Amino acid sequence: MMILLFSDVYLSVEKREDMMKKKILLTIGSIIVILFASGCGYLWWMYHSVASTAGKIYEDKAGSGNHGAVSGRKPISLLLLGVDERKNDTGRSDTIIAMTLNPNTKTMQMISIPRDTRTEIVGRGTVDKINAAYAYGGTKMAVDSVRQFVGGIPFDFYIKINMRGMSALVDAVGGITVNNKLDWYDEGYYKKGYHYKRGNIKLDTGAKAMGYVRMRHLDPQGDFGRNQRQRDVIMAIVNKAANISSISHYSDILSAIGGNVKTNLSFDDMKNLALNYRDCRRNSINYEVHGQSEKINGIYYLVASRAERQRVHDMIQEQLTDQ
């Protein structure tokens, strides 16, 4: 699920005969969710490979993106969607993160919206769980519905990643280390009976990482705890990738991204993010939408109060202020 994302691309100038060593700095976090994460970590890529991958993942199903904001070094908003798409199944956006990047205050904010949050599904005229918007109308309906939920603030860009991509990225970087707040045995996604110990643990395979981020029934915080683990894994992927020096790893990472990520960030946007937004990781703000658990017509929802939705709106709006 993840997760993502942003991407920074920094192009180094070298002699023509050294083109094979030309690299570019890319941050998965905000570009990917994962990789979600703007300025979340930096990867050196061979220029032509990154450009090719950027072309492969580009789409404009929810608008072409606010390219002028990025080139003008303005604060920007991104919507990160982690979906579980399978053959003949559109899936739902079970990971939803509203992210802002402010290059002036060097701040990155990530607000998680629980998948069971009750809201209007824009374009369908119904009220449902917010993760259903993607299943009903794809990326555009998901973006429009989240925009309505946060009080009408538009998203400059979106980044969508298939959850298989998170698993592939963990494998590509050679595993990650996370600080586990709970002690539990796997419910069956990775390997039934596997022990996730409390403290710093190594998730050395993508499957093991998926078991880590998907668990919720054994977590007293339910989806809130799971969403936090998703954000932790995203950041761990980005930070691990930042220290990778092997070209073979880069190839695996690009392959994982190319096959599982879609975004309306262009290659030029990515380069501008790398040059002007890479310091946003210095100050990180994490928040999760809160609400009351309610059963309506036999269905469980998380109902956020008007005051909570206003709080989220104000948090995003404050970060988008061109200070």
Greatest mean pLDDT among 61-65, 221-225, 252-256 = 61-65
**Residues β-bridged to residue 77:** 100
Q: Predicted confidence band at 245 (pLDDT cuts at 50, 70, 90)?
A: low
- The Cβ of residue 225 has, within 10 Å, a number of other Cβ atoms equal to 17
Rounded to an integer, what distance in angstroms lies between the CA atom of residue 126 and that of residue 190?
A: 36
pLDDT at 3: 29
What is the C-alpha separation between 143 and 122, in angstroms, rounded?
A: 9
Residue 42 pLDDT greater than 50, yes or no? no
Q: What is the length of the chain?
A: 323
Mean pLDDT across 157-161: 91
pLDDT of residue 222: 78
- How far apart are alpha carbons 148 and 244 in whole angstroms? 40
- If you average pLDDT over residues 189-199, what whole number do you get? 85
Task: Label residue 282 exposed, middle or buried (CB < 10 Å: 0-12, 13-18, 19+).
Answer: exposed
| Superfamily of 16-319 according to CATH | LCP protein (3.40.630.190)
Mean pLDDT, all residues of the chain:
80
Q: What is the pLDDT of residues 52-106, one digit of tens each?
A: 888 888 998 888 889 999 999 999 999 999 887 766 667 778 889 999 999 999 9
> Mean pLDDT across the stretch 294-318?
96
How many whole angstroms separate alpha carbon 279 and alpha carbon 22?
22
Give the model's confidence band at 158: pLDDT under 50 very low, under 70 low, under 90 confident, else very high: very high
CA separation for the pair 82, 104 (Å, rounded): 28
User: Quick one: pLDDT at residue 89?
Assistant: 63
What single string gives the DSSP state of each residue in 32-69? HSBBB-TTS--EEEEHHHHHHHHHHHB--BTBS--HHH
Residue 225 pLDDT > 90: no
pLDDT reading at 40 higher than 50: no
Given a contact cutoff of 8 angstroms between Cβ atoms, the answer to whether 26 and 224 are in contact is: no
Count of beta carbons in the 10 Å neighbourhood of residue 21:
13
pLDDT tops 80 at residue 204: yes
Going from the C-alpha of 142 to that of each of 5, 64, 231, the distances in angstroms are 17, 15, 20
In this prediction, residue 30 carries a pLDDT of 37
What is the per-residue pLDDT for 276? Answer: 87
The DSSP string of 25-36 is EE-HHHHHSBBB
Q: Which residues contact 60 (CB under 8 A, 6 or more apart)?
A: 264
Provide φ and ψ at 206, rounded to 5°. Answer: -65, -40
Supply the angle between the helices 47-57 and 267-276 in degrees, to the nearest 10.
120
For the chain, state the CA radius of gyration. 19
- Asked if the model's pLDDT at residue 316 lies above 60, the reply is yes
